[in-house]
Structure 1
Amino acid sequence: MFACHFRASDYRALLPALFVRAIDYVTTQDLNALDPGRHTIPGIDQDDAFFMILDYQTAAESSVGPEFHHKYCDVQFIIQGEEQFGWTELTDEQHQQLSHDYHYDPQKDICFFDQQLMTLSYETMSHDQFYLFTPRTAHMPNLSVTTTSQVRKVVIKIKYPA
């Protein structure tokens, strides 16, 4: 997992150009005015990157467990509300075994697994930074910090440069 403040310029040098273009575009939009759902990024093929606006209530526990992906990285950040997430890095072997045992869905590019299998670290999302989850970063979002919170969040999906 990679966390970075939007005001820090170092992520522009560290991340691939596609990531920087997508983050820069999305953060210049009026995200409160956009409808929930999937949105394209002008000048970037929608198979390479797109973003979603999500509105939901956080919960004390996840109903689906941690998730990971194969094709896309997630760049997530909070617009409104507060949220905690769990995360852990997977080895290539764990990624492959969990994909098999828990039936990775290639159509949705997602695999959920039993959170009891891994020890997760927990973080509270800050409004002034973004969080990058690669396909080898299992993450469990949408958790309450102290009480249930109404959240508006952005998830930018960027094709993993494999």
Structure 2
Amino acid sequence: MIIDSLANAARYYSVHPLFQEAFEHIQKQDLNNLAPGKSDISSDRLKSIVFVDAPLKTEAESLAKFECHDKNIDIQLCVSGLETIGWKPRESCTQLKGEYNPEKDVSYYADQPDMYFQLGAGQFAILFPEDVHAPMIGEGVVSKLVIKVKQ
């Protein structure tokens, strides 16, 4: 997992071959006027999901879908608001809930996070397949942009 601000995004271009394209896409956006929904950025390699004024959840609601992905890396950017995210390394998780869903590229766990962190406007987290996460915890609303990066 990586946590940082957009001002430092270029530092991570070399971590994955698609990160430069992903962050350049983010930088081209008018973040204050994003339209909610899903779109392809680069065929099936990069996809974006935009949440605008999305209601935040209780910790219990978010932990009901304590998730990780096998085929995608998430770049989760907080555009506005303050979001708390729960995290635990996948190797420490022992309570798989159901089967891996290949169509949605998601596995869920019943484990509890090892830690929580917050993202404010202009901050992002890069969550790799080994990062089990519970996003969108808090009060009020948040606007965020999630880039799905194909492994």
Q: Same fold (TM over 0.5)?
A: yes
Q: Which residue of 2 aligns with 1:70?
A: 70
| Residues paired across the two proteins, number | 147
Deviation sequence 1:39-97 (CA, Å, 0-9, x none): 222xx22x111111013111222422310111111000111111101001112x858x7
Question: What residue identity is the alignment partner of 2:118?
Answer: T
Q: Is the 8 A contact 2:84 2:116 kept in 1?
A: yes
- How far the C-alpha of 1:37 sits from its partner, in A, is 0.8
Report sequence identity in percent.
29
Question: What residue identity is the alignment partner of 2:119?
Answer: M
Question: What residue identity is the alignment partner of 2:25?
Answer: Y
Q: Which residue of 1 aligns with 2:11?
A: 10
Matched, 1:135 2:129: yes
Deviation beyond 6 Å, 4+ runs, structure 1? none
Matched, 1:61 2:59: yes
Distance in 2 of aligned mates of 1:29 and 1:54: 14
Q: Is the 8 A contact 1:62 1:140 kept in 2?
A: no
Q: Is the 8 A contact 2:75 2:125 kept in 1?
A: yes
- How far the C-alpha of 1:6 sits from its partner, in A, is 1.7
Alpha-carbon RMSD: 2.0
Local SS of the residue matching 1:59? coil
Structure 2 unmatched ranges of 5 or more: none
Matched, 1:159 2:141: no
Q: Is the 8 A contact 1:36 1:54 kept in 2?
A: yes
Report matched runs for 1:1-162 at 5 Å: 1-8=1-8, 9-13=10-14, 15-41=15-41, 44-45=42-43, 47-55=44-52, 56-63=54-61, 64-91=64-91, 94=93, 98=96, 101-114=97-110, 117-144=111-138, 148-160=139-151
- How far the C-alpha of 1:34 sits from its partner, in A, is 2.8
Q: 1:94 to 1:87 in 2, by over 3 A?
A: closer
Distance in 2 of aligned mates of 1:133 and 1:151: 19
**TM-score normalised by length of structure 1:** 0.81
Distance in 2 of aligned mates of 1:119 and 1:77: 20
**TM-score normalised by length of structure 2:** 0.86
The structure whose Rg is larger is 1
Structure 1 unmatched ranges of 5 or more: none
Question: What residue identity is the alignment partner of 1:60?
Answer: T
